[in-house]
Amino acid sequence: MKYLITIVGPTAIGKTALSIALAQHFKCEIVSCDSRQFFKEMTIGTAVPNPEELNSAKHHFIQNKSIFENYTVGDYEKEALAKIEELFQNNDFVILIGGSGLYVDAILKGFDEFPEINPEVRAEVNSNYEKFGITYLQQQLQDLDPVYYQKIETENPQTLQNPQRMMRFTEVCIGTGKAYSSFLNQKKNNRDFTPVLIGLDAEREVIYNRINQRVDIMMNEGLLEEAKTLYPNKELNALQTVGYRELFSYFDGEFTLPFAIDEIKKNTRRFSKRQLTWFKRNESTKWFDYATDRKQIIDYIENILNQSKSTI
């Protein structure tokens, strides 16, 4: 039996250190599931593992793409599953680590299949968004798929402010003449591995303090200079990321530098809250305090493995 040991949790909680400890214990490799650590031009602001950490265990999907590539979660699902299957040929264990809930779900559960959308429809939706803003997309979804709009509003309201997601919902509705929700849950995606989900958490004040400290460290390590080199390409989708957006506003003269740094901290704290909301929907996840002794987590995983073997 093959086991995908999956580590989730909010940013700055200590997932990288735990993943390396588990990879060393189970003598296996790590697949990153962080949607911004894929990009080689973004290092400091995405908290890419440092060289010592990268050398402590073999990592995959770290800085393997360029911000100039159109890399989607669907692309990642195909490539990561192929890599995981390859790794399982030589080992019964692979570590999956990430704070990007959508990408974790892509690996564990897969996505529903949608028809191809006419590029002209996509262009029209994009044009209308540029003219009328996010409210256009919200109104379109509310009119064309009120059931799904209500579901988002209730369960994940921040998605209503996400232009990429909202444009996708809208173009599917317009391009197919059917509700986006009608394409959901049509098929079962089978996986040839058993997921073992581990979550790291802490008291909110602890998480927020760790985030504030990480941002200060990033600034000391040169985040301002890194953002400056990326500023000419600030419109790229990959750069619509906390830590860069706020500094771009500083370069535009909209923020002072101290205010931009405070905004990075505030927006990262908000992001961590959304991460926890997403991950805690999965009742299969076993949650541990971030300061839990790693041996205790390893013992829990070993117990799960032994139980699985005894039922074979």
Residue ranges of the annotated binding site for ATP are 9-16
pLDDT value of residue 271: 92
Final residue of a structural domain among 183, 200, 232: 183
pLDDT value of residue 237: 84
Amino acid at 194: T
Task: Say whether both 58 and 149 belong to one domain.
Answer: no
Q: What is the DSSP letter of 237?
A: G
CA distance 172 to 113: 11
Task: Say whether both 303 and 249 belong to one domain.
Answer: yes
pLDDT value of residue 102: 86
Task: Say whether both 161 and 216 belong to one domain.
Answer: no
Task: Say whether both 161 and 194 belong to one domain.
Answer: no
The domain spanning residue 125 has which CATH number? 1.10.20.140
pLDDT, one tens digit per residue, over 234-255 is 999 889 899 999 999 999 999 9
Task: Say whether both 105 and 143 belong to one domain.
Answer: no
Task: Say whether both 196 and 169 belong to one domain.
Answer: no
The domain spanning residue 224 has which CATH number? 3.40.50.300
Task: Say whether both 174 and 34 belong to one domain.
Answer: no
Final residue of a structural domain among 183, 216, 232: 183
Task: Say whether both 229 and 286 belong to one domain.
Answer: yes
CA distance 301 to 28: 14
Task: Say whether both 167 and 198 belong to one domain.
Answer: no
pLDDT value of residue 11: 95
- Give, to the nearest 10 degrees, the angle between helix 134-144 and helix 163-176: 40
Token pair for 271? 């992001």
pLDDT value of residue 312: 58
The helix or strand, by DSSP H or E, that contains position 195, with its residue range, turns out to be strand 194-201
Q: For the chain, which residues score pLDDT lower than 70?
A: 186-188, 311-312
pLDDT value of residue 188: 58
Ramachandran category for residue 289: left, alpha or beta (phi over 0 → left; psi -120 to 50 → alpha): beta
Task: Say whether both 53 and 195 belong to one domain.
Answer: yes
pLDDT value of residue 71: 86
pLDDT value of residue 119: 84
Task: Say whether both 195 and 305 belong to one domain.
Answer: yes
Final residue of a structural domain among 133, 167, 183: 183
Residue ranges of the annotated binding site are 9-16
CA distance 10 to 25: 23
pLDDT value of residue 186: 65
Domain that holds residue 134: 119-183
Task: Say whether both 126 and 81 belong to one domain.
Answer: no
Residue ranges of the annotated binding site for substrate are 11-16
pLDDT, one tens digit per residue, over 49-81 is 999 999 999 999 999 999 999 888 888 999 999
Number of domains making up the chain: 2
